[in-house]
């Protein structure tokens, strides 16, 4: 029994492990809530290595809430280009304006006020309040769920209402009241580096003697998730128009994937179109109504772009035309070299890098 580690020793063990193993990252050892907020939003769906460079560029261009709020949304999206989940960038911009108007430009300190910011949920609010202000709010991200479910052998699905409550309770009980900032970062880093999803480093784990999952051989089973993600397929036929050295873009304004990014005119169908089907397609014919010469110059091979719940199947159809109609007035006409000024999806970017010469 002597060497059995008791529950209340866990925070100190994790903090000790953290101080020996933590990665040096630009958002570590700072207490600026603005920078912590930006880093947390970037890291929500992005790996640390990729997120690091985006964070540095973003902070360099928008070093304060004020500068972020004053920027155009297009520019904020441009700095986000390639990171995906663009609602994060739109919400950052919205929340920066919220802070300017509701809090006089000062980042709120109160947890419930932080929670009112656009795009900030309980995880991010807890991270900001604990990392920046050392307030006792326990963070629960994917890494923490995994560590807790294994340590305590909890089989309740982490994505169920009951699971969320149960884990929140344990996380709160475990939180180091003296040092919530360091403890929260420690358990997250422990999940990211030591207690990783597959093949965790149990042999060298300082918590092995109290780990239920290890004792019961459940390491590969925990944490449990109840919902299976259903993936839908969508089919995008992009029309890359060539007219007198210019082309055309439009803004995606609908509440949908890539909202407010720019793209070539799009015909969405239930499968990718052949040339024959294209000339029979109502939207294609409507786009080019009264245009006499329409040449299909090239069609790319089908491209697959995988998002969290969707697969976008796409092809880019280069179409050369001899004249314009009224429809084109609603599009942005520009030289190809100017496309770079607009925020576009990674899919568009890949096409532009490979096929536009």
- Position 52 contacts ligand SF4 (CB under 6 A): no
For 142, counting Cβ atoms within 10 Å of its Cβ (0-12 exposed, 13-18 middle, 19+ buried), the class is middle
**Is 48 an interacting residue with respect to ligand SF4 (CB under 6 A)?**
no
In this structure, how many other beta carbons lie within 10 angstroms of the beta carbon of residue 301? 7
- Of residues 207, 299, 321, 348, which one binds ligand SF4 by CB under 6 A? 207
Binding-site member from 25, 219, 291, 332 for ligand SF4 (CB under 6 A): 219
Residue 217 C-beta: closest distance to ligand SF4, Å = 10
- For residue 344, the 8-state DSSP code is B
b/e sequence 149-166, b meaning 16+ C-beta within 10 Å: bbbbbbebbbeeeebbeb
75 Cβ contact partners less than 8 Å away, ≥ 6 residues apart: none
> Which listed residue (68, 99, 181, 213) binds ligand SF4 by CB under 6 A?
213
The secondary structure of the chain in percent helix, strand, coil, rounded to multiples of 5, reads: 45, 15, 40
The reply on whether position 200 binds ligand SF4 by CB under 6 A is yes
The DSSP bridge pattern shows strands 246-251 and 332-335 to be: antiparallel
Among residues 217 and 330, whose Cβ is nearest to ligand SF4?
217
Catalytic residue among 40, 182, 189, 263: 40
Q: Which of 86, 167, 183, 214 binds ligand SF4 (CB under 6 A)?
A: 214
Catalytic, 203? Answer no
DSSP assignment letter at 116: T
| Residue from 268, 262, 277, 281 nearest 238 by CA | 268
* Window 146-175: contact mask with ligand SF4 (x via CB under 6 A): ----xx------------------------
Rule CB under 6 A: which of 311-350 touch ligand SF4? none
Q: 56, 208, 221, 266: which one contacts ligand SF4 (CB under 6 A)?
A: 208
What minimum distance in Å lies between the beta carbon of 8 and ligand SF4? 17
Strands (E), the chain: 232-242, 246-251, 262-263, 266-269, 294-299, 303-306, 310-321, 332-335
Q: Are 210 and 286 in contact (CB under 8 A)?
A: no
User: What is the closest distance, in whole angstroms, from the C-beta atom of residue 144 to ligand SF4 in the complex?
Assistant: 12
188 binds ligand SF4 (CB under 6 A): no
Q: Does 195 bind ligand SF4 (CB under 6 A)?
A: yes
Footprint of ligand SF4 (CB under 6 A): 150-151, 194-195, 200-202, 205, 207-208, 211, 213-214, 219
Catalytic center residues: 40
């Amino acid at each position: 029994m002597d060497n059995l580690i008791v529950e209340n020793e866990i925070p100190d063990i994790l903090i000790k492990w953290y101080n020996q193993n933590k990665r040096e990252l630009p958002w570590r050892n700072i207490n600026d809530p603005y920078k912590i907020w930006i880093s947390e939003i970037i890291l929500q769906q992005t790996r640390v290595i990729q997120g690091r460079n985006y964070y540095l560029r973003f902070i360099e261009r928008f070093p304060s809430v004020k500068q972020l709020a004053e920027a155009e949304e297009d520019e904020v999206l441009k700095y986000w280009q390639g990171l995906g989940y663009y609602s994060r960038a739109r919400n950052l911009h919205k929340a920066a304006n919220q802070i300017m108007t509701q809090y006089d430009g000062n980042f709120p300190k109160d947890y419930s006020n932080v929670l009112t910011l656009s795009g900030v949920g309980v995880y991010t609010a807890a991270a900001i309040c604990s990392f920046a202000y050392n307030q006792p709010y326990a963070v629960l991200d994917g890494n923490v769920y995994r560590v807790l479910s294994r340590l305590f052998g909890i089989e309740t699905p982490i994505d169920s209402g009951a699971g969320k409550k149960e884990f929140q309770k344990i996380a709160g009980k475990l939180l180091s009241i003296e040092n919530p900032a360091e403890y929260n970062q420690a358990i997250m880093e422990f999940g990211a580096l030591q207690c990783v999803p597959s093949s965790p480093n149990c042999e060298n784990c300082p918590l092995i003697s109290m780990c239920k999952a290890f004792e019961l051989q459940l390491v590969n089973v925990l944490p449990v998730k109840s919902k299976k993600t259903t993936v839908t397929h969508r089919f995008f036929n992009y029309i890359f128009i060539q007219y007198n050295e210019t082309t055309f873009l439009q803004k995606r304004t609908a509440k949908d994937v890539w909202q407010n990014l720019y793209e070539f005119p799009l015909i969405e169908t239930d499968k990718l179109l052949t040339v024959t089907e294209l000339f029979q397609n109502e939207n294609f014919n409507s786009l080019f109504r009264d245009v006499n010469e329409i040449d299909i110059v090239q069609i790319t091979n089908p491209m697959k772009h995988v998002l969290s719940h969707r697969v976008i199947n796409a092809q880019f159809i280069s179409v050369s035309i001899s004249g314009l109609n009224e429809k084109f007035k609603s599009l942005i006409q520009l030289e190809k070299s100017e496309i770079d000024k607009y925020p576009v999806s990674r899919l568009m970017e890949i096409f532009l890098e490979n096929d536009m010469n």
